[in-house]
């Protein structure tokens, strides 16, 4: 029987990675996003996740066996994050219910499950690192919890299995993505090189010195596919990182070397990217014109607020992956190479020089 996947948020970093992996494994793939997919072999589905009528119409003729939910919408408050993002998950699962075809739903969340939502990120009483899946929810409202609860409720009603995937900072390529550290750092390094500006680490001393980890979107896609096709992994939540650890005091030098820069010493004063890059549109416009690049709107490439949040944390953040390893998931990705692969793809797509 043909396995048919519906990828929700298919144009994002995570969605595009799982879409490609499913295609590589000969799945039939329907890609749902606001802008229809142009990937050969993909069924394009254009719909507004916040509009049930739009979803019902767009998904009426689909009979997906597997659903991969890889998107979210940032709102001004956590209360609104909860309302909007829970509704988007609920709307999708309601829209596919009449088909009665769904066997498994994979939901991508992240380490805010352990660290708290944006309004209280990394504050208060937090679980001990490395974070483990059996650690309970924080005693605070969190849109990730609301998304999970929508999946759990639909699974109980419709009889499908589920998996939840909790990556750390995700690396990959997607223009217009809300959280995109690798591309943000690539644009920052490009600007530093073009203007002879020091390549200054924008984060905290703790992040500079402590061990940490990251998640390549391709690594996350592999775990999603593994969980969706491994019976023992059904109805489980999994952390997902590349499988290595590093310190930013080392990684900053690797990124600098790639771009032909000298890494600046750790700064005496905190230097967030939102401040460093606040007026860089004019510089970027000039770089785009000089090198014939494709995207002149710097805001569609960078997300300084997100990179600052991750790199500015005053606590160590490292993740345990023993659970999925013990169950047979063995994929690995070196984190420095993950960055380099993003940079190479950005160059190949003429997004950086």
Q: What is the largest CA-CA distance in the chain?
A: 61
* C-alpha to C-alpha distance for 120 and 75, rounded to whole angstroms: 15
Which residue in this structure is represented by tokens 């790639």?
258
3-class DSSP assignment, residue 161:
strand
> Which residue out of 112, 114, 188, 222 is catalytically annotated?
112
Q: Would you call 144 a catalytic residue per the annotation?
A: yes
* C-alpha to C-alpha distance for 204 and 221, rounded to whole angstroms: 30
- Per DSSP, 50 falls in state T
Q: Would you call 157 a catalytic residue per the annotation?
A: no
* C-alpha to C-alpha distance for 258 and 176, rounded to whole angstroms: 24
**Using CA atoms in the order 51, 55, 57, 62, what is the torsion angle rounded to 10 degrees?**
180
**Is 117 exposed, middle or buried, given 0-12, 13-18 or 19+ CB atoms closer than 10 A?**
buried
Buried b (16+ CB within 10 A) or exposed e, 189-214: bbbbbeeebebbbbbbeebbebebbb
* C-alpha to C-alpha distance for 217 and 12, rounded to whole angstroms: 10
> Which residue out of 144, 145, 188, 222 is catalytically annotated?
144
Helix (H) or strand (E) holding 310: helix 304-311
Q: Kindly report whether the peptide bond that precedes residue 130 is cis, defined as omega within 30 degrees of 0.
A: yes
Please state the φ and ψ torsions of residue 241, each to the nearest 5 degrees: -130, 180
Query: Which residues sit opposite 199 in a β-bridge?
Result: 263
State the catalytic residues: 112, 144
């Amino acid at each position: 029987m043909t396995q048919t996947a519906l990828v929700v948020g298919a144009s994002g970093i995570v969605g595009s990675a799982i879409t490609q992996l499913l295609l590589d494994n000969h799945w039939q793939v329907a890609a749902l996003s606001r802008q229809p997919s142009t990937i050969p072999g993909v069924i394009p589905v254009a719909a507004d996740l916040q509009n049930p009528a739009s979803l019902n119409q767009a998904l009426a003729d689909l009979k997906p066996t597997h659903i991969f939910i890889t998107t979210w919408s940032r709102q001004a408050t956590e209360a609104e994050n909860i309302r909007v993002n829970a509704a988007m998950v609920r709307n999708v699962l309601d829209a596919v219910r009449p088909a009665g075809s769904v066997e498994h739903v994979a939901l991508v969340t992240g380490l805010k499950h352990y660290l708290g939502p944006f309004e209280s990120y990394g504050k208060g009483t937090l679980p001990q690192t490395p974070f483990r899946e059996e650690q309970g929810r924080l005693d605070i409202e969190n849109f990730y919890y609301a998304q999970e609860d929508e999946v759990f409720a639909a699974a109980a009603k419709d009889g499908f299995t589920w998996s939840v995937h909790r990556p750390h900072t995700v690396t990959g390529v997607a223009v217009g993505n809300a959280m995109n550290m690798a591309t943000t750092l690539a644009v920052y390094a490009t600007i530093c090189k073009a203007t002879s500006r020091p390549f200054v680490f924008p984060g905290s001393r703790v992040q500079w010195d402590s061990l940490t980890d990251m998640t390549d979107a391709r690594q996350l896609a592999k775990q999603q596919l593994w969980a969706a096709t491994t019976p023992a992994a059904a109805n489980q939540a999994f952390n997902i990182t590349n499988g290595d650890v590093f310190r930013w005091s080392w990684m900053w030098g690797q990124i600098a070397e790639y771009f032909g820069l000298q890494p600046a010493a750790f700064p005496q004063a905190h230097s967030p990217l939102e401040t460093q890059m606040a007026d860089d549109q004019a510089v970027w416009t000039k770089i785009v014109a000089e090198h014939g690049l494709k995207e002149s709107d710097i805001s569609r490439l960078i997300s300084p607020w997100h990179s600052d949040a991750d790199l500015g944390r005053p606590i160590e953040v490292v993740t345990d992956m023993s659970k999925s390893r013990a169950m047979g998931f063995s994929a690995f990705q070196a984190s420095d190479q993950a960055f380099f692969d993003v940079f190479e793809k950005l160059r190949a797509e003429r997004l950086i020089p």
